[in-house]
Amino acid sequence: MAFLVVGAGSVAADQGKPMVVGGTLASVAEAPWAVVLTNSAAVRESKRWCGGVLVAPDKVLTAAHCARQPITSYGVVQGRADLSNREVGRFSAVSKVWVHPAYSTTTNRNDFAVLTLKKPMPGVPVLRLETSPKADRRGAVPTVYGWGDTDGTGPDDTLQKVAVPDLGDATCTGIKGYTENGYTAAANVCAGYLDGTGDACQGDSGGPLVLNGRLLGIVSWGNGCAKEGYPGVYAEVAPVVKTLLAQVRAVPSQVR
Ligand code: ARG
């Protein structure tokens, strides 16, 4: 965890470089399915812990590395672009946490978790999951959304977005530290800028990487944020979409 993957909820980034870094303000209207995962152990006043994405009225997809705290410590907030504005948005506690059984803390593979909401959010548009592994191709330009660190490139705890070009798997497999940290062509998306223009950052993990109205990936890890030579690494949805959908469609054991 120390070098490449910066843990969820960490306050300060390990780098002095900007961190959604290099992005612009995003509205709830354009990204209604983007949610904040809060945790009582978070040090920030907003309790921001990670990002997430509403994929069914009662299901949120996030990163496995974001979902390792006690279930009662979590909350999900939707509809609040500025986390200091508690007048707007919806909140739900979490009644169930499913972590991908093949999630590995050593290779960071299968960095996916599905949370079941105690209080579903009907009427909020959900994001479809990408089903084609071909969607991850060099030259595509997906957008990442999140409330994470900006290091001064935007307001804190506010929904930001940045377009991050898909650099292709070869770019990330060609980075020594990245193969060592588990970057896998068939399971990850390599997106961002080699010149440090923009990136996801601490607090964005678990949030959506969106292409053509579908969820291409989940923010997973990177070396620093918007650091020259080091793009963002995303957990790719399509290769595991069947496993994820089985959870998304699972009827919650709890009464709604
Ligand atoms: N692991 C970080 C988190 O928990 C997000 C890492 C994304 N980093 C990046 N440079 N794209 O929030």
Amino acid 252: pLDDT: 61
Residue 212 resides in a domain: yes
Amino acid 12: pLDDT: 35
| Claim to verify: residue 76 and residue 159 sit in the same structural domain | no
Residues of the chain under the 50 pLDDT cut: 1-19, 253-256
Total tally of structural domains belonging to the chain: 2
Contact by Cβ (8 Å): 6, 14: yes
Owner of token pair 């009427």: 123
Amino acid 49: pLDDT: 98
Amino acid 3: pLDDT: 28
Atom of ligand 1 nearest to the CA of 227: 10
| Claim to verify: residue 140 and residue 222 sit in the same structural domain | yes
| Claim to verify: residue 119 and residue 159 sit in the same structural domain | no
Q: Is 209 in the pocket of ligand 1 (CB under 6 A)?
A: no
Report d(CA 129, CA 218) in Å as an integer.
11
How is 169-222 classified by DSSP, letter by letter?
Answer: HHHHHTSHHHHHTT--TTTEEEES-TT-S-B--TTTTT-EEEETTEEEEEEEE-
| Claim to verify: residue 118 and residue 77 sit in the same structural domain | yes
Report d(CA 219, CA 65) in Å as an integer.
10
Atom of ligand 1 nearest to the CA of 234: 11
Residue 24 resides in a domain: no
Domain that holds residue 88: 33-126+240-251
Residue 16 resides in a domain: no
Amino acid 187: pLDDT: 98
| Claim to verify: residue 177 and residue 104 sit in the same structural domain | no
- Residue 100 a catalytic site member: no
Residue 219 resides in a domain: yes
- Residue 10 a catalytic site member: no
